Structure 1
Amino acid sequence: MNTISAKYKKDFNMDKSIEEKLVIRNKRFQSRLMLGTGKYRNIKEAVESIEKSEASIITVAVRKIEYLKKIGKSNLIDFLDWNKLWLLPNTAGCQTAEEAVRLATLGIEMNKKLGQLENNFVKLEVISDSKYLLPDPIGTLKAAEYLVKRNFTVLPYIYPDPILAKQLEEIGCHTIMPLGSPIGSGQGLQNFYNIKVIIENTKVPIIVDAGIGQASEANAAMEIGASGILLNTAIAKSGQPKLMAEAMKLSVISGRKCYTSGIMTKQIQGQASSPYYGIPKLQ
């Protein structure tokens, strides 16, 4: 039989939701994996890992780029194909809202220089804690409100506080980025239930950012409904970054498909998968 019967066509065809794209402020992205660009052993390794990951969005610290330009040193941004990638400049290193706003503005200029004239995305980081690198909620909210009013597409990095996440959504942030655990720690999803609450209570995409150390953790975040994952150290500091980049790509895809397909309800008792009829009764 060469054709699919009408009865099965809908199921076979294609649950389109499984293949849906990540959408942030009407911009569609092929991949739900985002990558940072720091900590690699060399530029070649970074470029090859990013290519292997097939990530669509790459985040770069504005402060680092400005510094490298000042000293005349090569930087990774010059070696990537920005016709295929979307730059997400970030305000890493900012301790105040005012600093973050200034770097965000420089980040948009950086987007334009790469030819991404419509790219007004910025990853907002305000971190005054130099030991644990936990984001400042008040500074983040203040800077986000200012930038949103000026038509920036703001992706704020936050501690997984459901109330703060909702406030940021309500002022106009198009994505929320709660941390799994501290930046670069590799501790995984230490804030699993808070992240789950944020996902349930907000309508914008939720990108789990920071702390992911292995593929199973990225997968777990996607299985509870995260819209994507942003990571860096897990790949850059692994023994084989290219291989780890591929593992992270597959784990994000797998987790999303699992979530979208509808996970079975857990049961207290075992449920037989084979029928009981035909089994002789014991006397």
Structure 2
Amino acid sequence: MSDILKIGKYELNSRLIVGSGKYKDFATTREATLASGSELITVAIRRVNITNPNEENLLDYFKDTNIKFLPNSAGCKNSDEAVTTFRLMREATGIDLIKLEIIGDFSKTLYPDVIETIKACEILKKDGFTVMAYTSDDLIVAKRLEDAGADAIMPLAAPIGSGLGVQNRYNVAFIKDAVNVPVIVDAGVGCASDAAICMELGADAVLTNTAIACAQDPIMMAQAMKYAVISGRMGYKAGRIAKKPYASASSPLDGLIQF
């Protein structure tokens, strides 16, 4: 059964989005991405080359695939930096699907500056970009980003690269209920079961990078993430049973043979 993920004008068959950082080389990045089944890979355009054809370019490793690039603004500290970065990137590559990421705390948490993110989202949307906005797991901020034109809301599960998994499960569900655009859990996923939990909570997709790139076997972990997202999505759509404080027999007691 078709289960297409729609983000603005774009359609994806896979609900797993992967990152391109922390791999030992571009060849491994390609191999793991293909193993994940993902059709979208995010790239920090201030750190990874996709614009200069005279240097080793990540784009070259994916030319013969159906995988789309999702440039992100990692490293940007305010809306002006992010908007300028994306405008220059689009001029060089023609890509208009972007992940807006503005960090407010570079010391420990890498938490986003949500005020600057909302401001940049409004500008970039007017510029014609399809905006996927990385944010905190705050319900009100998510709604403000949707009002600003975000085509997808990307709440963190936990700090970037922490591997802690979803720390506020109710917040993911609250955001999903509150907005009408896809909710993609981003940052903090540590293993396949974390990805499955995100999907079981109702997330439309999961983005993970460190959990794959820094695994002992990145290729195998990429495959595990692929099936975890599929399984979690199926579990969510199937509808879990209600939680109860007491036992409930699997077999009926009516007609029980008496001794």
Query: Structure 1 length as normaliser, TM-score?
Result: 0.86
The reply to whether residue 279 of structure 1 matches residue 245 of structure 2 is no
> How far did residue 68 of structure 1 move?
8.4
Q: How many residues align?
A: 258
Partner of 1:34: helix, strand, or coil?
strand
Q: Specify whether residues 266 and 154 from structure 1 end up closer, same or farther in structure 2 by C-alpha distance, changes over 3 A only.
A: same
Local SS of the residue matching 2:47: helix
Larger deviation: 131-140 or 101-110? 101-110
CA distance in 1 between partners of 2:10 and 2:175 (Å): 22
Q: Given residue 127 of structure 1, which amino acid in structure 2 is its aligned partner?
A: I
> Aligned with 1:253: secondary structure?
helix
Structure 1: tracts of 5 or more residues without a match: 1-15, 113-118
Listed as ranges, the matches of 1:102-113 within 5 Å are 102-112=84-94
CA contact 1:90–1:107 (8 Å) conserved in 2: no
Per the alignment, in what secondary structure is the counterpart of residue 211 of structure 1?
A: coil
Structure 1's 99 and 66: CA in aligned 2 closer, same or farther, altered over 3 A? Answer: farther
1:1-283 matched pairs, under 5 angstroms: 16=1, 19-66=2-49, 69=52, 73-81=55-63, 83-112=65-94, 119-131=95-107, 132-281=109-258
Runs of 4+ aligned residues of structure 1 deviating over 4 Å after TM superposition are none
Structure-2 separation of matches of 1:234 and 1:206: 20
1:262 is displaced (CA, Å) by: 1.3
State the structure with more CA Rg.
Answer: 1
The verdict on how the C-alpha distance between 1:69 and 1:229 changes in structure 2, with shifts beyond 3 A counting, is same
Aligned residue number for residue 9 of structure 1 = none
Letter in 1 for 2:99: K
SS at match of 2:14: coil
Q: Distance in 2 between matches of 1:42 and 1:231?
A: 18
Q: Does the aligned pair in 2 maintain the 1:108–1:122 contact within 8 Å? A: no
Unaligned runs of 5+ in 2: none
- In 1, the alpha carbon distance for the partners of 2:236 and 2:141 equals 25
Aligned residue type for 2:45: V
Matched-pair contact (CA < 8 Å) for 1:97–1:126 = yes
Please state which structure has a larger fraction of its residues in helix.
1
Provide the rounded CA distance (Å) in 2 between the counterparts of 1:215 and 1:159: 22
67 and 222 in structure 1: CA distance in 2 versus 1, 3 angstrom threshold: closer
Question: Identity of paired residues, percent?
Answer: 43
RMSD across aligned C-alpha pairs, in angstroms? Answer: 1.8
SS at match of 2:21: coil
Give the whole-Å Cα distance in 2 for the aligned partners of 1:101 and 1:221. 30
Spell out, residue by residue over 1:156-188, the C-alpha distance to the aligned partner (whole angstroms, 9 max, x if none): 110111101001111221100011111111111
d(CA) in 1 for partners of 2:51 and 2:130?
26
The CA deviation string for residues 247-275 of structure 1, in whole angstroms up to 9 with x for no partner, is 00000000000001111112222222213
Cα distance, 1:36 vs structure 2: 0.7
Quote the offset at 1:189 in angstroms: 0.9
Deviation at 1:74, TM superposition (A): 1.5
CA drift at 1:104: 1.3
**Aligned letter for 1:120?**
D
Q: Secondary structure at the match of 1:64?
A: coil
Contact 2:36 2:225 in 1 (8 A): yes
Out of 271-280 and 24-33, give the one that drifted further: 271-280
Residue deviations 1:98-151, cap 9 Å, x none? 000011112323442xxxxxx521100111311221100111011011111122
CA distance in structure 1 between the aligned counterparts of 2:81 and 2:56, rounded to whole angstroms: 25
